Structures are given as C-alpha cells and as structure tokens.
Amino acid sequence: MATKVTPISGFQEWLPADRIAEQIVLDTIREVFELHGFASINTRAMETVERLAGQGEDADKEIYGIRRLADPSGAAELGLHFDLTVPFARYVLENAGKLTFPFRRYQIQPAWRGERPQRGRYREFLQADIDIIDVGSLPDHYEAELLLVVADVFARLPIGDYRIHVNDRKICEGFYRGLGIEDVIGTLRVVDKLDKIGADGVRKLLLEAGCTDEQATQCLALAEISTADTGFVDQVRALGVTHELLDEGLAKLAAIIEVANEHAPGVVVADLRIARGLDYYTGTVYETMLEREPGYGSICSGGRYDALATDGKRTFPGVGISIGVSRLLGKLITEEGLTASRETPVAVLVAVNDEESRRDSMRVATALRSRGIPTLVAPKAAKFGKQIQFADRRGIPFVWFTGAGADEKGDQVKDLRSGDQVSADSGSWAPPEADLRPSLVLPESDAT
C-alpha cells in the first residue's frame, strides 16, 4: 500500500548541489575557526529542562521536551537544546578539571526551537559557534577578537555587504538606572522589540511597564544612536544621563569599535538598540545584518556572559558569537540561488570500455584516488557518448579513457568543457586545482 509523503515545515533538506554548497560554507567556517586557535567540541543534543528553561526570549515555550512514547503521561525532564551556549556552559562545568583555560572552543551542530516556522527561522537549524571562556575573570580584548574572526569568515564567503552591530548591555543598564528605572531586564526585553513593533509600540509597552513619558522618550533616544566610529559616546553624553555603569559600558564599546575599525574597517557599527533577548548576556552583544536586507534578521549574534557557568565556588565568564548557518543559507541558497559548480564531488569519471576490462578502469580510479583526486568508475559499459553524457549531467569535468578506449594511444583524459583530450598517466596526472573540488557558484556569475 502506497504511503503519502507529507512534508514537515521548518527543516532544511538540500538537493545534492546545494548540500555541497552548504558543506563548502561549513568547511570554510571550520578552517577559519581553527586558524584563529579554536578547538572543536561536540555536545549532546539533550539537556535537562531545568537547565534550558528560564533563559529569556520565550525559551520556556520553545523547548522541545523529550519523553518516551511508552510513558505518555510522564513530564519531560529532558529537552533538545535551543542554542549551543547553554550546553557549552554545562560542558565546561563538567570538564573544568580537564580543560586548559582560557578555553577557546568552536562547535558546529544543530539546535532545535519549537517556534512557528517562517522565513529564515526553522525548527531545526545549524549553528557555528565560537566561545572563549576563563576562570574568575575574562579580559575585555576577547570581545573585539571575536568580531575579527567573523569578519575573516565572511570575507571568504559570497555573502555580500554586511554589518556587525555591537552594543554593551552595561550602557543600557547604566542608562536605565541613571533614569531611575528599576526593571532593567524588562526594559531591555521591551527595547529589543524595536525592529518588530516600532518605536510607538515600544513606547506603549514601556509606559504599561511603569515608565514615565520622559523615561520612555530617553530610552528610545538611546536606542536610536548608531555610529560607525566612537561618536556614539558624545551622543549618549548629550542625553544628560549619568551612572558609573554607563561610563564603563561606553569605554568598553569604544575600545571594541577602535580595534574593529583598525583590523576590519567598515564592518562593525556601534548600535545602541541591540540588546539580545537571552537573559544570560551581561556585557557586549552582537547582531549581524545583511546590508541589502536588514529586515531578514541577524545572521550572526552573541555576546558576553559572566554568570552562565558557575559551580557555586568558581565562575567561568565567557564571550561567544554564533553564525546562524541555516538562516544564512536560507537566504543565499533558497532565495538567491547560491549553489555548487557540480552536484557531486567527483572530478574524474573513468570510462569502461566493456565489462571484461572494468578492472582496468578500477585500477586507474584507485591510482587517482590515492593522490586525492575524487574519482568515479562509470556504472555501465555503454557507448562512450552516453558515458560522457553521464558525466556532463553531473558536472564532472573530466572523463578518462583507458587503453583500447583511447584508440590504442594509451590512456587519455578529456576536458568536457573545452573538448581537449590529452594523453595521461594515472600515476602523475592531476586536474587543475580549481577543478579538484566543487566551488560555490552564484547566479549570473562564474564560480567563486
């Protein structure tokens, strides 16, 4: 009996060429992370619901609870992690005695959120995180360093113009306290909704939360400040609010902007509306927008957390930033047509003259693979035209002919794009470096 296949929304499943494009992006991210000295770890998919809950941004509502079908009435004690920072903090606590601090880790894994699937937001999604965590205290310079790592990643990918928007929660907290606002976290959450509900909506919520009209006006004025240099400091001072925490936050953010502008000019902007919805952030926060469509949402975000990992005796402050791989590729692949130059990693198809000589073709393939050349032996000893067609449809650039199949001239290899065919030896021939692996291809452009 036939079973109807019903799609499930909120998941990305790529066709082969797009999957290769995703892998190229992931390999690029991994390479850059390692160039900057980050070590890879992997954490389990599940955490206790107690650890996951209460982190803000409606996390409690979005957690996928895990329970056995055989126990339908039992409450879920475990849940799928909704980001990689919370499980990383737990990992550090469990392995603190075995880690060398400051510990620099990268992690590329899926996460899950039980929210309504929509453009750029998925139930299951890939994140690529880096974090630096230490014992007791963490120097501020790491907060600028993470921006440079992200800039290095994006410089190697065809993502177009982007900006990393940076703020420091201490600026907001000090400003709010200077205004006499006591519910700092609640105010941060409200202001963080600016892009979703606009200034009028935020003002209404602030007034409903107990702010005076003057306090609401000042909160919105702070959130409107955005500069590509340290000019934001004078603009904040001009608002006339004072608090020592505000001074600390302004100094830290100014230092970050100065470092970023020296090493990655034009990439970072100080944006005082950025707050981040997760409650564990305590200092610098980041969000990254594509210049061509800021409304698409952040493709890379994170921040500093000082108290997320603590065993009661020691605290492990950290700072991290996460590239939303699925969100980014949802834009680049699904909407803008980024793909790979071929749907297979194969660079060479070895033709088969007849089934009796298949072993000759297999020997050639083995020799090429031993030197790192992705190679496939033709599945059938069909006419050479059909074998060439088999390769061409998959984007395989070269076809190898052995012995008799090369008109008794010895082994030959044919470039299907130019039509050139030359004699070759399986022990020494290699394709051009650009053809060895698939590359990223943008619509209306050549391979990048």
Annotated binding site for L-histidine: 83-85, 113, 127, 131, 276, 280-281
Is 417 buried (19+), middle (13-18) or exposed (0-12) by CB count in 10 A? exposed
Q: Which residue has the tokens 């032996």?
A: 377
What token pair was written down for 177?
A: 């306290």
Whole-angstrom distance between the N-terminal and C-terminal Cα of the chain?
A: 47
- Contacts of 57-60 with C-beta under 8 Å, sequence gap 24+, read 57/277, 57/278, 57/279, 58/277, 59/278
Instruction: Answer yes or no: are the C-beta atoms of 235 and 227 closer than 8 Å.
Output: yes
DSSP string of 11-43, one letter each residue: -----HHHHHHHHHHHHHHHHHHHHTTPEE---
Please give the Cα distance from 325 to 60 (Å, whole number).
23
Angle between helices 213-223 and 184-191 (to 10 degrees): 60
206: amino acid identity, one letter: L
What angle (nearest 5°) sits at the alpha carbon of residue 288, between those of residues 284 and 292? Answer: 155
Please give the Cα distance from 274 to 188 (Å, whole number).
9
Mark the binding-site residues, compressed into ranges.
Answer: 83-85, 113, 127, 131, 276, 280-281
Question: Would the CA dihedral through 376, 377, 380, 384 be positive or negative?
Answer: positive
Please give the Cα distance from 230 to 251 (Å, whole number).
10
SS (H, E, C) 348-368: EEECCCCHHHHHHHHHHHHHH
Instruction: Answer yes or no: are the C-beta atoms of 335 and 441 closer than 8 Å.
Output: no
